Amino acid sequence: MFSSLPLVERIDDAAFDRAVARLRADLLDAQYSLLEQANRSVVVLIAGVAGAGKGELVNRLNEWMDPRHIRTSAFGKRDEAERLRPHMWRYWQSLPARGRTSIIFEGWYSEAIQARVARRIKRPAFWHTLHAIQRFERMLAMEGTLVLKFWLHLDADTQHARFKSLERDAARRWHVTPGDWREHRRHARVCKVAEEAIGLSDTPHAPWFLIDASDNRHSELEVGRKLLHALRHALDGKTVRPATALPPAFVPCEAPSSSSSVRAGKAMTKAAYEPELERLQGRLNLLLRRPEFVDRSLAVVFEGMDAAGKGGAIRRITHALDARHYRVYPVAAPSEHEKRYPWLWRFWRDVPRDGRIAMFDRSWYGRVLVERVEGFAGEADWSRAYDEINALEQEWTEHGVIVCKFWLEVSADEQLRRFNERSRTRFKRFKITPEDWRNREKWHLYEPAVQDMLARTHTEVAPWSVIQADDKYRARLSILQALCARLEAELR
């Protein structure tokens, strides 16, 4: 692959200056057109061997374009905040809003390649990582992001000569580090692993461009021209989108049975409820204080029809927790700012760090429920969301996040009773809105959406618990019981 790169033709100063003047003007025009349209974003990933001029190239792109509309992110060794969250969390934070560009320096491929080169991971784990990256890039492309990946290459002899030349220059010798020489000694293995990664992840919607970096001027012009060509195609609406879906990351389990036909008998009394509630809250508190939870985290998802009791269930959980260790996220329609990013971006922002708890009052499942029913997402978008949700939850659980999902099942009659009660009770009036009444009229549309959601996202790593919620007392106890049982199984 790398041995077949064409020979580089040297360019003189005058020709280089003329080429840069034209290219810079064209890039700025394309960048501002992208900003004005604001319907897609651009991710430029810069990777390659040590000494290939990656840093100089990133600086050059920021010089040629308007850096106010470019976010440049460099990734090296993980800091504490990054180590305490799932693998891809830090890369989600670097994604650009629509109309803007992100330049990713040493991104998700470099980390995987270096881990494989150093033999910290074996080939199956390497391929698993590449497969997860493929899903990530496919999601970006489906969301309208232009993904361009550049590998800057030097052969071993040219790399060695460049390092020696830099070391002889007193003003520039700081560019060469012991780590660079260590990578030079592993040059053959770096190339072998990189060729494998590029071969497995080169797709029409997220292509790789191999650049001979033996001459910095040549590599800078090549990258700039390819970026300009891709920007112009995107502005003309010619961007390639994935044609077919990837195979599922894993097959969902058999869907949990709905309890809609199972109604509680006599309502539970407060006298029976309160001591059991206190017992389960104490059990939950002790579980989350176990030493094993320090390296884990908990994400609790609540979904259900309006007035199903999600807020009340969350409050009974928080009463058992240390307020310093949890956050509750009430999820509403995305804001205008959030709409400018890939749809899962706002949820990746809130993934809990190790030792912490996040509770979601509604969640990412809005894409396949309210957005599906209300037509806010097209069928193509909500149909692919099932696999994207499964991938998100898989990545979270691989890091150690315990994902507990509850669907609160309430009957239409009970919902109506609660709506009327809220309307009559002064301190509950804020809970009932015209939107709630309008949603109730679409009950028949929500039922198949709920069944599809349970069937396609009930997985071994992130199963659903369907809770019969007509009796609030029993529902809250059932949730606490299920949560404790899950934690006990995970923290063995």
- E-strand stretches of 185-262: 208-212
The one-letter code for the residue type at 304 is G
Sketch the domain layout of the chain as residue ranges: 2-235, 270-490
- What does each C-alpha distance from 406 to 49, 347, 362, 378 come to in angstroms? 47, 17, 10, 26
Instruction: Please answer whether residues 70 and 104 qualify as being in contact, where contact means their C-beta atoms are separated by less than 8 angstroms.
Output: no
pLDDT at site 240: 72
The SS3 assignment for 442 reads coil
Burial group, residue 269, by CB count within 10 angstroms (0-12, 13-18, 19+) = exposed
Quote the CA–CA distance of 331 and 334 in Å, as a whole number: 8
CATH superfamily of 270-490: P-loop containing nucleotide triphosphate hydrolases (3.40.50.300)
- E-strand stretches of 106-176: 145-153
Q: How far is CA 181 from the centre of its chain?
A: 34
CATH architecture observed for domain 2-235: 3-Layer(aba) Sandwich (3.40)
Instruction: Please answer whether residues 77 and 175 qualify as being in contact, where contact means their C-beta atoms are separated by less than 8 angstroms.
Output: no
Task: State the Cα angle at 425 between 422 and 431, rounded to 5°.
Answer: 40
- Interior/surface letters 167-204, b for 16+ CB within 10 angstroms, e for the rest: eeeeeeeeebeeebeebbeebeebbebbebbbeebebe
3-state secondary structure 444-478: HHHHHHHHHHHHHHCCCCCCEEEEECCCHHHHHHH
Q: Please tell me the number of Cα atoms within 13 Å of 174 on its side-chain side.
A: 1
The one-letter code for the residue type at 346 is R
pLDDT tens for the chain, 492 residues: list them: 888 888 788 889 999 999 999 999 999 999 999 999 999 999 999 999 999 999 999 999 999 999 999 999 999 889 999 999 999 999 999 999 999 999 999 899 999 999 999 999 999 999 999 999 999 999 999 999 999 999 999 999 999 999 999 999 999 899 899 999 999 999 999 999 999 999 999 999 999 999 999 999 999 999 999 999 999 999 998 777 776 566 666 667 777 865 443 455 689 999 999 999 999 999 999 999 999 999 999 999 999 999 999 999 999 999 999 999 999 999 999 999 999 999 999 999 999 999 999 999 999 999 999 999 999 999 999 999 999 999 999 999 999 999 999 999 999 999 999 988 888 776 666 667 887 888 889 999 999 999 999 999 999 999 999 999 999 999 999 999 999 999 999 998
DSSP state of 206: B
> What φ, ψ does residue 222 adopt, rounded to 5°?
-60, -45
Quote the CA–CA distance of 187 and 52 in Å, as a whole number: 12
- pTM for this prediction: 0.92
Torsion of CA 44, 50, 53, 55, to 10 degrees: 60
Same fold, 2-235 and 270-490: yes
Quote the CA–CA distance of 438 and 443 in Å, as a whole number: 10
Backbone region of residue 147 per phi and psi (left: phi > 0; alpha: psi in -120 to 50; beta: other values): beta
